Structure formats: structure tokens, C-alpha cells
Amino acid sequence: MFIVDSYALAIALCVVTMLCWGSWGNTQKLAGKTWRYELFYWDYVIGILLFSLVMGFTLGSMGEQGRSFVPDLMQVTSAGMLSAIIGGVVFNLSNILLSASTSLAGLSVAFPLGVGLALVIGVFNTYFFVGGNQGNPTLIFGGVALIVLALIFNGLASAKQNAGAGQSSSAKKGIILAILAGILMSTFYTFVASAMDIENFENPAAGKATPYTAFFLFAIGIFLSNFLFNTIVMKKPFEGKPVGYDAYFKGQLSTHLVGVLGGCVWGLGTVLSYIAAGKAGASISYALGQGAPMIAALWGVFIWKEFKGSNSTVNTLLTLMFILFITGLGMIVAAGN
């Protein structure tokens, strides 16, 4: 299988992860013009599952290092399988809440708040509960502290923007959902990382999964749990009328493909994060990937114009948010050197 052999390459892959995790929400915005997010989410989940298989049979099966995808899958212990699948279930619930938040509060609010909160809590989880070289704790947690400040500035900017326009109940509901999503999302990576031998991808311990197998099992957890979580949300939506599965099958192929693309984009970022964890360490790999809120905020501010017409105070707060985010991520990168 393909294995990262240098810290510099691992960091580069983490940056790609950040771009992917911060950009998949654009597909929801595109589909959302004519498509309920509950329906979009089915295509998104299918995209993740299909992409996990593609990665398993390509990068996960090439080369002589490590174990190939199918043999590795067959030898993973039941405990390892369950851990990765639980990670998928937890992620799916958190991501459904995040998707709902995006549809209610906007990309530039939901992602920085929800995913940013997940970053802060998740770094603590991966640092203290996952093995491997985790890097310099002063730089890691110093970087996280700056990101917390960035989240505060983003929240202030959102509050002032909504206050000027009259904050709607939908926006308030979206913020609450983003907070719940962030708390849940902070835990999923630990479950998946626990199923892998983070310290030795070349010759992983018996019963442990390679990153490609862990990603596939994780995707299985997402797919199976979606029959419960998304069905409930379809019948009891956070906003709007209930929607049935008949509406899903009436969707145009192009609309379905947008959702599948979103799942593939997110899936690419995820598998690269798992691969990079072997050299960068789980906490650094996770933290850099969760820099996605900055990318999402850039899309929301400059492409979707979610802060159009903002006053100078809001613009200043947004500028400080970006500066603090970039500085915090830079400290996290330096933590592994």
C-alpha cells in the first residue's frame, strides 16, 4: 500500500485534507438551490462509501509495504472493526447536524463554529488517548489556543452581522446545531485511530487496520447509521416540511452527482489524514485537517457573499479570525519538527 515516508509529505497531505474538508460544503450549497439537504446527504454518504472502496483497491493495494486492502480487512479484530465503525456512526450524527446548521446559518458560520470546536476538543482527545509521536505540546496547544480566539472573533462577527439584519430564529437554531455537531465531531477520530497501528504502517501489528481499511470500515459506519439518523431527520426536519424517499428518487442525475462529488471530496481529505498520521502524529494530522473552518469561511465570505454589506467592525473581526487561524495552524505544523 502507499505509505507516507516523510514529515514534509505528511504535512502536505494534511493541507490537502484541510482544503477538502473545508470545501465539500460548497456542493451542499450548490445542490441546496433546488435540493433539500436531507436528500443531498444521501448522495454525500454514498460518495464516501464508494470512494473508500476506490482507495482500498488502488492506493491501499499497491506496492510491497504494509498489508494490502483485502488481506488486511480479513485480519482486523472484531474490536478494531467495531471501533472504526463506531467512529463512522458518531461522525455521521455530528455531520448531519453540521449540514443542518450550514443550511440554516450559512457556511461561514457553521463550519468555523462546529468544526473549530471539534478541532479544539479533538486535539486533546488525540494527544492524550492515541499513541504515537504527537509533537511539541507547547506549540500544539498554543496553536489551538489561537484557534479558539479565532472562533470567538468569528462568533462576534456573526452576532454583529445578524444583529444588523435582525437575527432570525433559523440562524440561532443553526448556531446551536453547530455547537452540538462540534462536540460530537471531536470524538470520532479517536475511535478510528484506535483501530490502526499509528506507529507502524509498514508492518502494522496483527489485528490492527491500515489507514485504507480503517477508512472503509468508518465509511460502513456512516452508511449504515444514515438509515436511522437521516430517516429521522427527513421525517422530523429541523426546518421545513417532512420529505420522503420518493422525492430522492425523483432527483435529476446531475443533482445526485453533486452530492456524490461532495462525499468524494470529503473522503479524499479523510483518507489522506489517516495516511499522514503515521508520520505527522494523530493530533497534528487531525488538527491541521480541522483547519477546514478557515477554508470554509473563505468560501462563505468571498464566494457566497454571506457577509455582504458588513460594516467595518465585522470586517475587522473576520480579518483577525483569519490571522489567528493561520498563525495557530502554523504553530501546529512547527510542533512536529
Q: What is the pTM of this model?
A: 0.83
- Check residue 329 and give its pLDDT: 79
Rounded to an integer, what distance in angstroms lies between the CA atom of residue 224 and that of residue 96?
Answer: 14
For 32-79, what is each residue's pLDDT tens digit? 878 888 999 999 999 999 999 999 999 999 988 889 999 999 999 999
> Which residue carries 505527522 as its cell?
280
The answer for residues whose C-beta is within 8 angstroms of residue 155's C-beta and 6 or more apart is 113
For residue 209, the cross-strand partners are 196
Query: Could you tell me how many helices (H) and strands (E) the chain has, helices first?
Result: 14, 0
Per-residue pLDDT at 165 exceeds 60: no
Rounded to an integer, what distance in angstroms lies between the CA atom of residue 262 and that of residue 269?
Answer: 11
**What is 278-325 written as a DSSP string?**
HHH-HHHHHHHHTTHHHHHHHIIIIIS-TTTT--HHHHHHHHHHHHHH
Query: What is the SS3 string spanning 176-187?
Result: HHHHHHHHHHHH
pLDDT band at 272 (very low <50, low <70, confident <90, very high): very high
User: Mean pLDDT over residues 3-29, rounded?
Assistant: 88
- Whether residue 123 contacts residue 146, with contact meaning beta carbons closer than 8 Å, is answered with no
User: What amino acid is encoded at 292 in this protein?
Assistant: A
pLDDT band at 142 (very low <50, low <70, confident <90, very high): very high
Rounded to an integer, what distance in angstroms lies between the CA atom of residue 42 and that of residue 255?
Answer: 12
Which of 17-26, 146-155, 324-333 has the lowest average pLDDT?
Answer: 146-155
For the chain, which residues make up each domain, given as ranges?
7-334
pLDDT band at 250 (very low <50, low <70, confident <90, very high): very high
- Check residue 56 and give its pLDDT: 96
Rounded to an integer, what distance in angstroms lies between the CA atom of residue 113 and that of residue 300?
Answer: 13
- Grid coordinates of 132: 504515537
Rounded to an integer, what distance in angstroms lies between the CA atom of residue 287 and that of residue 121?
Answer: 10
Q: Closest Cα partner for 231 from 92, 68, 74?
A: 92
Q: Closest Cα partner for 198 from 261, 136, 132, 269?
A: 132
**What is 14-32 written as a DSSP string?**
HHHHHHHHHHTHHHHHHHT
> For all residues of the chain together, what is the average pLDDT?
86
For residue 196, the cross-strand partners are 209
- Check residue 78 and give its pLDDT: 96
- Check residue 168 and give its pLDDT: 63
User: Mean pLDDT over residues 171-175, rounded?
Assistant: 81
